[in-house]
Amino acid sequence: MLSARSLFQEILDDDRSFRLFCSIAASGEAQGGWENGRIAALVPESMRHLAPKITRHGADEDKHGRIFTALLKKRGLEPVPVPWETDYTMLLERRGIGLTHTKLRRDEPLGEEDILVYLAHSRITEQRAADQMVMLVRYFGENPEVGNAVKIISQDEDNHLAYCHEELLRLAREGHGPLIQRTLRLCALAEIQIYRQVSLAVMERMGRLLGWPAPKAAALAAGIHGVYGYERLAGWRRMVSLTMPERRDALGGPATPVPAL
């Protein structure tokens, strides 16, 4: 029976697919770490109170990249280059979502609106990451090879999502509500398209590595299109809602080190 659990188990069991999966994940997390580090360095003076939290966010992303690299090393594997069509972060930037790398490479302070865009973009992408990690913890939280890693990352993603909700709600109370909602909607509608594009590309690559028959590949592609259809119709609304989290000041301390996996 084709299911998310059986699909990820198949990817986990094969060195080639596991190598690609961890390489894509490690690259994306490392890229997120760099972006947050640059944003923290360029925060405008009026919002310097956010710099430690943005720094913590970036440190967590760097940690996740090291975790995925460590999982590869445990199997004696090296990362592989990430195919461009599976580079979620780069494709979002090309769609004009978030802050461009060109802007982040300049040594010029960002504006307050830039920070709002960063938080809105993060609220969308962290929702995706948090949901994916909840699924992996449900299926593989007790797996001796990856269970500890997915639990650690899932907890961090929950913290990141809580932080985005709290800070965006604070900015909305300061009068930025309409701009926040417009930005969230723009980000969400672009993200679900990019997520479908990347999901199809990743599954196509995995199918080639694992020798999936055409009917299985077609069923997976249909499932991805189905998820997109639901998100395009209604699911995106969940991604733009803002609710004060139970976990307040979620990024108020230093990042935890990478534990032994």
Query: What is residue 249's three-state secondary structure?
Result: coil
Cα–Cα distance for residue pair 91/180, rounded to 1 Å: 22
130 backbone φψ class: left, alpha, beta (φ>0; ψ -120 to 50) = alpha
For 44, phi then psi, to 5°, come to -65, 155
Domains of the chain: 4-240 (1.20.1260.10)
Residue 51: exposed, middle, or buried by beta-carbon count in 10 A (0-12, 13-18, 19+)?
Answer: middle
Confidence (pLDDT) at 259: 67
What is the DSSP secondary-structure string of 77-114? Answer: ----PPPGGG-HHHHHHHTT-S--HHHHHSSSPPPHHH
Mutual angle of helices 177-210 and 15-42, in 10-degree steps: 160
pLDDT in tens, 107-150: 999 999 999 999 999 999 999 999 999 999 999 999 999 999 99
Give me the residues of the chain with pLDDT under 50, please: none
Cβ-based burial of 91 (10 A; exposed 0-12, middle 13-18, buried ≥19): buried
Q: Looking at the whole model, is its pTM more than 0.85?
A: yes
**pLDDT the model gives residue 46:** 94
Please give the pLDDT value at position 261. Answer: 67
Residue 1 has what pLDDT? 58
